[in-house]
Amino acid sequence: MKKESRIVHAGLHPDRFEGVVNPPVFRASTVLAPTVAELKARHPQRFDVTYYGRYGTPTTRALEEAVAEIEGGSKAILVSSGLAAISSTLLALLRQGDHLLMVDSAYYPTRAFCDQILVTYGIETTYYDPMIGAGIADLIRPNTRVVFTESPGSQTFEVQDIPAIAEAAHVAGALVVMDNTWGLLSFQPFEKGVDVSLQAATKYLGGHSDAMLGTIATADRALWERIKNHVCLMGHAVGTEEVYLGLRGVRTLPIRLRQHFEAGLTVARWLESRPEVARVLHPALPGCPGHDLWKRDFTGGCGLFSIELSLPASGDLPEAAVNEMLDHYHFFKLGYSWGGFESLVVPATPLRTAAPLPAGTGPIVRYHVGLEDTDDLIADLEQGFDRLKAAVAAL
């Protein structure tokens, strides 16, 4: 079967639920055992047994099975958000005195977690250029335990050479963790050398802007057990209603992603033609850093990308003018998320320390193309550029 067909049916076991197609929502904390012997046999390390609600229910395991299928792994873990997936994994894999290599283009809360939380555990973080590739070997120390990747990068969308990074990391005995939220169906992390793949399932997997979820997937059972044990002992528990919404989102994921990607490319190519745009940062377009790597390693994408606005002859594009463009869109609503059915926009403020953006870079704006008609979205953007030009002229 092709992957799209497997995803539609992953985690479904109607034979267990009297023929019901979707797994029911198990709202459970207490799980009873018929005998003392059975009660003692259900201990926390038996993660595949329903022991206590916080450790998982049949609903939880149904979505975990589906996520493992999506990622191409063997096992998955659910947590309450994408950041919980990131923080739980890093805390499970790192100890005091360890060293972490973190991509410089990472999701801002990931960076904040490293700088504000990991440092208090005595764990050092070094940020690296997302385009470093095999050169990552020069940054690996004897105490480097994890190389964290995010490809494409948040806001600036650099595509990393994951196979080269993984090869260098594994030679040195380090694990590779990847935030795979952007490429959740189009990038197969374990085929490229990733050890742990993370997703903010709040985004496309949920798909309807109404559920907070995070996922952790591995291809190695021992590694899965290590992270799962940590997640459980830290008290993480994901709500069963959110899990059910995630299961609902899985069934339409391939067709929704295809539409988001195709619509996003249509809008991105139109933006390339606009004089107000200096660059379109979309991995599927040649102007994006790592575009050749995208062609090699990805089979598609999603609807999220950024643009860099052109600077006027004066060399300055006032923030007030950009805000005038963004404040009055009809379809592109201002909101710090993506992956839902609706189009969104935010002004981007990349924080970079290892690979600063070039001097003279114009303001960056991040768009998420939803499921609206692309002609309507393009008309919305065109009106925004009209407001931008009028605002610049008035200032």
**What type of residue sits at position 184?**
L
CB-based contact 84:214 (threshold 8 Å): yes
pLDDT of residue 30: 87
Q: Where are the beta strands (DSSP E) in 17-95?
A: 75-79
Higher-confidence residue: 375 or 13?
375
Structure tokens at 151: 């490809």
* Strand pairing class (175-179; 124-128): unpaired
314 pLDDT exceeds 90? no
pLDDT at 42 over 80: no
296 phi/psi in degrees, rounded to 5: -75, -40
Q: Give the DSSP H/E element, type plus range, for residue 44.
A: none
Catalytic residue positions? Answer: 54, 107, 179, 203
Q: Could you give the percent of the chain with pLDDT greater than 90?
A: 81
- Taking only the tens place, the pLDDT of each residue in 102-121 is 999 999 999 999 999 999 99
Burial of residue 297 (CB within 10 Å: 0-12, 13-18, 19+) is buried
Please name which of 251, 199, 190 lies closest in space to residue 7, comparing C-alpha atoms. 251
- Indicate the pTM of the whole model: 0.94
Mean pLDDT of the region 206-232: 95
Q: What does pLDDT average to over the chain? A: 94
pLDDT of residue 194 exceeding 90, the answer is yes
Whether residue 315 has pLDDT greater than 90:
no
d(CA 135, CA 112): 25
Residue 5: predicted pLDDT: 81
- State yes or no: pLDDT of 48 exceeds 70: no
pLDDT at 307 over 70: yes
Length of the chain: 395
pLDDT at 205: 95
Q: For residue range 222-280, list pLDDT tens digits in order.
A: 999 999 999 999 999 899 899 999 999 999 999 999 999 999 999 999 999 999 999 99
SS3 content of the chain, % helix, strand, coil (to 5): 40, 15, 45
3-class DSSP state of 373: coil
User: Does 46 score more than 70 pLDDT?
Assistant: no
